[in-house]
């Protein structure tokens, strides 16, 4: 059995496609989050009644392929239950070996995420790593913890596996929404860096955003995503500018 934890701010709303993509879950928890994503994820994991917890944000949904994998394979095999290994020994095709689910040492799974911006799927630049390598979103309850107020990561000493299919992500559907989002999250990130003792200066404020833009737009081939790739790279570079500007003001106060 799988519990899904949906992180949501007070302004978020869930789409019908998100609800439909989670129809296989026997428990869905909505956890409010404002300025600390890791704390919200850890709270959701603690409240989950099942052994395995799937984490999804309110602007995401599971692709049909990934929903089928989780529905027909994970639950059918009784993932996390004493019968799971015996089931897989009888039928190795129930869950492909390459997914790693036959290995009871695995405690977390990477899922690939594809971002859609201005109606276009982004394949390069800022979002390339999540699309190709994936991000951890399915974890065994109590096997580790989430760290980081934003850009949170799951920390554990256990083994990890990978699942086929995509999480579909629909962020920043307008420039106004994008600006509001990066203003909010740059403040959270600046406060986090300040608490860690990180310092910045005028040179970083000026130069880092330029470096960030040319890295994501040029080296990571963001230009291949066309106008959407340019705008996305530019806005994320502006996010870097805001983070360092707010950090500088904080350390100068």
**pLDDT tens string 116-128:** 999 899 999 999 9
DSSP string, 196-245: TT----HHHHHHHHHHHHHIIIIIT-GGGGHHHHHHHHHHHHHHHHHHHH
Between 51 and 230, whose confidence is greater?
230
What was the pLDDT predicted at 20?
85
What was the pLDDT predicted at 148?
87
Question: What pLDDT digit, counting tens, does each position of 66-118 carry?
Answer: 998 888 765 555 554 433 333 333 333 333 344 444 567 889 999 999 999 99
Domain-ending residue, one of 169, 203, 234: 169
Mean pLDDT, range 195-208, rounded to an integer: 96
Burial class for 89, CB neighbours closer than 10 Å (0-12, 13-18, 19+): exposed
Phi/psi class of residue 148: alpha, beta or left (left: φ > 0; alpha: ψ in -120 to 50)? Answer: left
**Based on the domain organization, do 40 and 57 belong to the same domain?**
yes
**Based on the domain organization, do 213 and 156 belong to the same domain?**
no
Between 163 and 218, whose confidence is greater?
218
Nearest to 193 by CA among 242, 131, 155, 157: 242
What was the pLDDT predicted at 190?
96
Residue 16 predicted with pLDDT over 90 = no
**Distance of alpha carbon 184 from alpha carbon 219, whole angstroms:** 28
Residue 61: which CATH number? 3.90.550
Question: What pLDDT digit, counting tens, does each position of 24-76 carry?
Answer: 888 999 998 878 899 999 999 999 999 899 999 989 999 999 998 888 765 55
**Based on the domain organization, do 196 and 154 belong to the same domain?**
no
CA 180 from centroid of its chain's CA atoms: 19
What was the pLDDT predicted at 77?
53
**Based on the domain organization, do 187 and 230 belong to the same domain?**
yes
**Based on the domain organization, do 97 and 120 belong to the same domain?**
yes
**Helical ranges in 22-164 per DSSP H:** 37-47, 64-68, 84-90, 128-132
Domain-ending residue, one of 123, 144, 169: 169
**Based on the domain organization, do 12 and 78 belong to the same domain?**
yes
Taking the CA atoms of 43, 47, 52 and 55 in sequence, report the sign of the dihedral they define: negative
Question: What pLDDT digit, counting tens, does each position of 144-194 carry?
Answer: 999 988 888 999 988 998 988 999 999 998 999 999 999 999 999 999 999
The answer to whether the CB of 121 falls within 8 A of the CB of 171 is: no
Q: Could you tell me which residues are beta bridge partners of residue 57?
A: 7
What was the pLDDT predicted at 91?
35
**Based on the domain organization, do 193 and 130 belong to the same domain?**
no
Domain-ending residue, one of 145, 169, 193: 169
Residues in the chain, total:
253
**Based on the domain organization, do 108 and 39 belong to the same domain?**
yes
Residue 233 predicted with pLDDT over 60 = yes
Between 105 and 243, whose confidence is greater?
243
**Distance of alpha carbon 105 from alpha carbon 157, whole angstroms:** 11
Structural tokens at position 185: 């999250």
pTM for the model: 0.84
What was the pLDDT predicted at 94?
37
**Distance of alpha carbon 160 from alpha carbon 99, whole angstroms:** 10
**Based on the domain organization, do 138 and 240 belong to the same domain?**
no
Nearest to 138 by CA among 33, 39, 56: 56
**Based on the domain organization, do 197 and 135 belong to the same domain?**
no
What was the pLDDT predicted at 72?
73
Total domains present in the chain: 2
**Based on the domain organization, do 59 and 138 belong to the same domain?**
yes
Give me the domain span that covers residue 105: 2-169
């Amino acid at each position: 059995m799988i519990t899904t934890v949906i992180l949501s701010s007070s302004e978020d709303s869930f789409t019908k496609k998100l609800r439909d993509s989670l129809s296989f879950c026997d428990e869905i928890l909505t956890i409010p989050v404002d300025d600390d994503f890791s704390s919200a994820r850890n709270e959701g994991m603690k409240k989950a009644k099942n052994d395995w917890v799937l984490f999804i944000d309110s602007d995401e949904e599971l692709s049909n392929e990934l929903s089928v994998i989780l529905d027909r394979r994970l639950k059918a095999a009784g993932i996390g239950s004493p019968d799971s290994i015996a089931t897989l020994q009888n039928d190795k095709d129930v869950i492909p070996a390459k997914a790693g689910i036959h290995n009871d040492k695995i405690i977390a799974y990477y899922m690939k995420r594809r971002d859609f911006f201005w109606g276009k799927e982004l394949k390069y630049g800022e979002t390339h790593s999540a699309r190709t390598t994936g991000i951890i979103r399915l974890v065994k309850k109590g096997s580790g913890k989430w760290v980081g107020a934003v850009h949170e990561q799951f920390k554990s000493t256990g083994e990890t596996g990978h699942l086929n299919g995509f999480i579909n992500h629909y962020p920043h559907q307008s420039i106004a929404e994008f600006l509001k989002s990066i203003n909010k999250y740059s403040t959270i990130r600046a406060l986090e860096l300040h608490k860690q003792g990180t310092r910045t200066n005028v040179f970083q404020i000026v130069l880092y955003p330029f470096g960030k833009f040319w890295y994501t737009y040029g080296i990571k081939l963001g230009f291949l995503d066309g106008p959407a790739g340019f705008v996305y790279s530019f806005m994320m570079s502006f996010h870097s500018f805001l983070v360092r500007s707010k950090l500088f003001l904080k350390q100068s106060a």
